[in-house]
């Protein structure tokens, strides 16, 4: 009998390590009231109910969980019967969302990895999982999770932590380790490549060497992820509070190139000359703003992520004789349309980026009534912030940026519009009783 057949029949199912209530740090005080309500109601209805995933990991680390996910043996319809405030969502995964005002507790039914149930039809060529809706028990469910640190269960029946995969030890030693055979698990779902980096950065963990080796080999698999899913991941990567480090690690692991090929091409070129720092500054600013609970817009992020390829392409158009604003407009179209083929960034955000770029050329014109008009533009603030960013990154716009700063304080007055060339001829004397302004 093959190992897989034995596994199917349950012979090799390893027993979990159960860490009793007194031997771990998780207390009910640090679990949201709503999550506790969900756990208890499931339990009282006779189902198994566990907190699972990122919340257990974060509680063990003494961090505040972003949200609470629950795993149970109740099926989605059974969950819905228990909660009035419940919606079933998802096609690939059918999940229950239990709503409490702003807070959503996500409840998922234990699932079996595809090979435990039947082998037919659950993976595409290359091993990618396309359907994953076969219900199972907790000791099936654990093996379909990604990293050991994400595969711990907190059992509401006895407040123990259930650990099948050595997750507690890996959390203690700060390791992100894929469960099972890394290459197969990355092939099943290449988004895990990005998740590995995201969690390593967010938690300050190292990526286990076997997992890391597989990332280096399998980075090209990112190309297979649908553009819509990549957009969701993009937000988690760059709006999670550690954008700068995440960017550096993504580049280090050869994953950034697949997300932003045009940007990577310029970065690679520029690093031989002087390094392109605008993106690094923008990501650092994003992290600082998030830390201060200030708003950040994906549109500004997009404008920074794609600035260097757009700028380079616009320069080529200008070298061919196009006016700056036309060159920027055409380069924006080209760069954005290539990028959204890769990552489905919604139009409302690519429009913001376009406007910010377009306004860069208008910011250079500061005579007459133009500055006063520009200041009223709804995107002026973002465009001005972007100009500051360019100045800080060593682009030759420092003087211009200072001018705008002073102008907004009312400390400088725009020069009058230069008269068009044909009117520069000396005028008749004494028209306004003064001496004509000759240059």
CB under 5 to 8 A by kind: which of ligand ATP, Mg ion, none does 136 bind?
Answer: none
Catalytic member of 58, 69, 170, 287: 69
Position of minimal CB gap to Mg ion: 54
- As to burial, measured by CB atoms within 10 angstroms (0-12 exposed, 13-18 middle, 19+ buried), residue 43 is middle
With tokens 């109740």, the residue in question is 74
What's the min distance (Å) between Cβ of 255 and ligand ATP? 15
Binding residues (CB under 6 A) for ligand ATP: these are: 53-54, 66-67, 69, 145-146, 150-151, 189, 191-192
Compute φ and ψ for 357, nearest 5 degrees: -65, -45
CB of 108 to ligand ATP, least distance (A): 8
Q: Which does 150 bind (CB under 5 to 8 A by kind): Mg ion, ligand ATP, none?
A: ligand ATP
> 63 is written with which tokens?
């961090």
Report the partner that residue 192 touches, choosing among ligand ATP, Mg ion, none (CB closer than 5 to 8 A by kind). ligand ATP
Active-site annotation holder among 67, 132, 139, 333: 67
Select 105 or 335, whichever has its Cβ closest to Mg ion.
Answer: 105
Q: Is residue 258 within 8 Å of residue 220, measured between CB atoms? A: yes
Which residues of the shown chain bind Mg ion in the complex (CB under 5 A)?
A: 54
Which one, 191 or 331, has the nearer CB to ligand ATP? 191
Q: How far is the CB of 106 from Mg ion (least distance, A)?
A: 8
Q: Which is nearer to ligand ATP, 53 or 309 (CB)?
A: 53
Q: Which does 146 bind (CB under 5 to 8 A by kind): Mg ion, ligand ATP, none?
A: ligand ATP
For 400, the enclosing helix (H) or strand (E) is: helix 398-408
Q: Based on CB atoms, which residue is closest to ligand ATP, 179 or 359?
A: 179
| Known catalytic membership, residue 58 | no
Shortest reach from residue 284's CB to ligand ATP, in Å: 21
What value does the CA radius of gyration of the chain take, rounded to a whole number of Å?
28
In angstroms, what CA-CA distances link 5 with 111, 115, 145, 165, 341?
A: 19, 10, 21, 21, 42
From the list ligand ATP, Mg ion, none, which binds 49 (C-beta under 5 to 8 Å, kind-based)? none
Q: Give yes or no: 69 in active site.
A: yes
As measured in angstroms, the least distance from the Cβ of 289 to Mg ion is: 23
Selecting among 146, 170, 285, 287, the annotated active-site residue is 146
Largest CA distance in the chain: 109
Residue nearest to ligand ATP (CB): 54
Residue 146 designated active-site: yes
State the binding partner of 427 from ligand ATP, Mg ion, none, CB within 5 to 8 A by kind: none
- What tokens does 93 get? 């995964």
Q: Is 287 within 8 Å of 239 (Cβ atoms)?
A: no
Return the number of the residue (151 or 352) whose C-beta is nearest ligand ATP: 151
Strands 160-163 and 152-155: antiparallel
Q: Is the dihedral of CA 39, 41, 43, 46 positive or negative?
A: negative
DSSP three-state, residue 204: coil
The minimum distance between CB 254 and ligand ATP, in angstroms, equals 20
Q: Which SS3 state, helix, strand or coil, does residue 417 take?
A: coil
Strand partners, 109: 72
Q: What's the rounded Cα separation, in Å, for the pair 113 and 24? A: 29
Residue 196 contacts residue 176 (beta carbons within 8 Å): yes
Angle at 390 between CA 388 and CA 394, to 5 degrees: 115
Minimum CB distance to ligand ATP smaller for 152 or for 382: 152
- Which positions are catalytic? 67, 69, 146
């Amino acid at each position: 009998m093959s190992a897989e057949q034995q596994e199917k029949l349950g012979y090799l199912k390893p027993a979990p390590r159960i860490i009793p209530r007194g031997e771990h740090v998780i207390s009910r005080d640090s679990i949201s009231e709503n999550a506790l309500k969900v756990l208890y109601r499931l339990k009282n209805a006779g189902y198994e109910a566990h907190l699972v995933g990122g919340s257990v990991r974060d509680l063990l680390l003494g961090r505040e969980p972003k949200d609470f996910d629950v795993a149970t043996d109740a099926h989605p319809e059974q969950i819905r019967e228990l909660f009035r405030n419940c919606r079933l969502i998802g096609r690939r995964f059918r999940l229950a969302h239990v709503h409490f005002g702003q807070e959503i507790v996500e409840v998922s039914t234990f699932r079996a990895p595809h090979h435990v149930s039947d082998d037919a039809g659950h993976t595409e060529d290359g091993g990618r999982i396309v359907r994953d809706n076969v219900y199972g028990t907790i000791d099936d469910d654990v093996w379909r999770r990604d990293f050991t640190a994400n595969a711990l269960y907190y059992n509401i029946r006895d407040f123990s932590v259930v650990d099948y995969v050595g997750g507690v030890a890996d959390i203690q030693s700060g390791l992100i380790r894929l469960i099972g055979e890394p290459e197969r698990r990355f092939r099943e779902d290449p988004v895990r490549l990005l998740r590995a980096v995201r969690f390593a950065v967010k938690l300050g963990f190292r990526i286990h060497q076997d997992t890391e080796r597989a990332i280096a080999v399998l980075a090209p698999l990112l190309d297979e992820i649908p553009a819509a899913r990549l957009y969701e991941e993009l937000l988690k990567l760059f709006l999670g509070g550690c954008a700068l480090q995440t960017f550096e690690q993504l580049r280090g692991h050869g994953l950034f190139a697949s997300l932003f090929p045009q940007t990577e091409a310029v970065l690679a070129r520029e690093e031989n000359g002087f390094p392109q720092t605008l993106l690094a500054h923008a990501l650092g600013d994003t992290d600082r703003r998030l830390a201060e609970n200030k708003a950040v817009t994906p549109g500004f992020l997009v404008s920074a992520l794609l600035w260097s390829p757009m700028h380079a392409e616009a320069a080529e158009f200008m070298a061919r004789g196009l006016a700056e604003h036309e060159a920027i407009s055409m380069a924006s179209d080209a760069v954005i349309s290539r990028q959204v083929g890769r990552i489905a960034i919604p139009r409302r955000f690519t429009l913001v980026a376009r406007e910010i770029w377009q306004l860069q050329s208008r910011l250079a014109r500061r005579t007459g009534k133009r500055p006063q008009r520009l200041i009223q533009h709804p995107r002026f603030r973002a465009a001005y912030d972007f100009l500051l960013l360019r100045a800080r990154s060593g682009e030759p716009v420092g003087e211009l940026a200072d001018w705008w700063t002073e102008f907004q304080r009312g400390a400088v007055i725009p020069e009058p519009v230069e008269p068009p060339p044909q009117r520069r001829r000396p005028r008749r004397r004494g028209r306004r009783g003064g001496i004509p302004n000759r240059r």
